[in-house]
Amino acid sequence: MTQPWTVGVEQEFLLVDPETRRPVPKAGEVAQRADGRFDVQRELTPYQIEVATPVCRTSAELGEQVLAGRAHLAAAARAAGCLLLASGVPPVGTAGPPPGTDDPRYRLMEHTHRKLLGGQGVCGMHVHVGVPDRATAVLVSNALRPWLPTLLALSANSPVERAEDTGYASWRSMVWTRWPVSGPPPHLDSVEHYDRLVHSLVSTEVLLDEKMVYWDVRPSAHVPTVEVRVADIPQTAHEAHVFAEVVRAFARTAAEAPPAPPVDDVLLRAAYWRAARDGVDGLGVDPRDGRLRPARDLLGELVGFCADALHDAGCHDLVTAHLDRLRSHGSGAARQRRALGASPDPRDLVDRVAAATTDPAAGLP
């Protein structure tokens, strides 16, 4: 049973060839070699694989499960003759062309959404937080809207595609905006408002079903959880752990705080674009007032808002130490760029990211 303020994480990864470092369509074989000890799922393309943690109650448990899931998948990938890679987009090569994963639902998506599926081999991380009820999930969704660009900046880990710097810290988020229902959710008046919107989107065949609601926050229709989907897959297990704890702490804090006024949709989209381009190492748009501020200042304000909940979960020091490390070592996107510039062979970048994917010490202060 999901209980309030529990947390679970879904992590999506690329599978790459150990020689060329290009994506390889081996998800089916990797899934078979994963022996069932973890919840492993195939994704939209056969170049991707996903692992989910169980429902976690403590921060220590979450950190252990995030890393253990990565290690388990990496071992299955090696047995299948490939490498597990935590990057939002493939740094070398592409996750395509189609065909995609041989699944009836994915085949129907190829028919209904057509060429939009090309190049969609991108990897994110989804955080599920247990809440008391669906009304609380809607409240948390509304409260998160102005902070989603800051969370995107914190997670940015996809600056390089086809061995070239895209100029964006999170190119994955730019690719993902092709979907008709993606990016920030609307401000919701109630659970019924959310359900009406989803029903209309499905009945008009914009979406196949409610699973295609790809907003960056969505209340579950079946269990009392809120899912936050804004993140690139973090490069390290440590970064994934920190991100998930910030999301959980924010949800708990927002549930007990007075509702904030809605932010303007235009400013929110502008803040998303700036966060995707500059990440945590640059400037960010504060969608509450439309002003430019250092992204790290916005991140500090976000962590300050939920500091009590972080202390209660026993992870405040973990999170604040990571903020300090960001100042000296940079984000996943910054580290990818440094690796790209350090060698004339982009395969070296892939090797560094692959090593960091399962290194339990990577990202620690």
Q: Tell me the CATH number at 330.
A: 3.30.590.20
Burial class (CB in 10 A: 0-12, 13-18, 19+), 82: buried
Give the residue-averaged pLDDT of 136-144. 97
d(CA 361, CA 325): 13
Is residue 287 one of the residues assigned to a domain?
Answer: yes
d(CA 349, CA 5): 37
Is residue 101 one of the residues assigned to a domain?
Answer: yes
Output 211 or 312, whichever has higher pLDDT: 312
Q: What is the mean pLDDT of the chain?
A: 92
Q: What local confidence, expressed as pLDDT, does residue 109 receive?
A: 63
Find the range with the poorest average confidence among 4-13, 92-101, 223-232, 301-310. 92-101
The residue count for the chain? 365
- pLDDT for residue 108 is more than 80: no
- pLDDT for residue 114 is more than 60: no
- pLDDT for residue 87 is more than 70: yes
Give the residue-averaged pLDDT of 10-33. 96
Boundaries of domain holding 68: 7-358
Confidence of residue 277 (pLDDT cuts 50, 70, 90): very high
Q: What local confidence, expressed as pLDDT, does residue 365 receive?
A: 60
Confidence of residue 95 (pLDDT cuts 50, 70, 90): confident
Q: What local confidence, expressed as pLDDT, does residue 1 receive?
A: 43
Contact 95, 88 (CB under 8 A): no
| Whole-Å CA distances, 283 to 137, 152, 271, 304 | 30, 13, 10, 19
| Contacting residues for 141 by C-beta, under 8 A, at least 6 apart | 185, 188, 217, 218, 219, 226
| Contacting residues for 297 by C-beta, under 8 A, at least 6 apart | none
d(CA 230, CA 211): 16
Give the residue-averaged pLDDT of 272-285. 96
Instruction: Give tens-digit pLDDT for 338-363.
Output: 999 999 999 999 999 999 999 988 87
Instruction: Give tens-digit pLDDT for 28-80.
Output: 999 999 988 899 998 878 999 999 999 999 999 999 999 999 999 999 999 99
Instruction: Give tens-digit pLDDT for 316-343.
Output: 999 999 999 998 889 999 999 999 999 9
Q: What local confidence, expressed as pLDDT, does residue 172 receive?
A: 96
What number of other Cβ atoms are within 10 A of residue 239's Cβ?
27
Q: Residue 304's closest CA among 237, 347, 236, 246?
A: 246
Q: What percent of the chain has pLDDT over 70?
A: 92
Contact 172, 231 (CB under 8 A): no
Q: What local confidence, expressed as pLDDT, does residue 218 receive?
A: 94
Is residue 2 one of the residues assigned to a domain?
Answer: no
Confidence of residue 288 (pLDDT cuts 50, 70, 90): very high
| Whole-Å CA distances, 20 to 94, 141, 142, 339 | 12, 41, 44, 17
Confidence of residue 211 (pLDDT cuts 50, 70, 90): confident
Q: With left for phi above 0 and alpha for psi between -120 and 50, is residue 171 left, alpha or beta?
A: alpha
Place of tokens 């904030």: 260
| Residue 267 DSSP SS3 | helix
Q: What local confidence, expressed as pLDDT, does residue 164 receive?
A: 96
Q: What local confidence, expressed as pLDDT, does residue 101 receive?
A: 57
Number of structural domains found in the chain: 1
- pLDDT for residue 110 is more than 70: no
Is residue 364 one of the residues assigned to a domain?
Answer: no
Q: What local confidence, expressed as pLDDT, does residue 255 receive?
A: 95
Is residue 75 one of the residues assigned to a domain?
Answer: yes
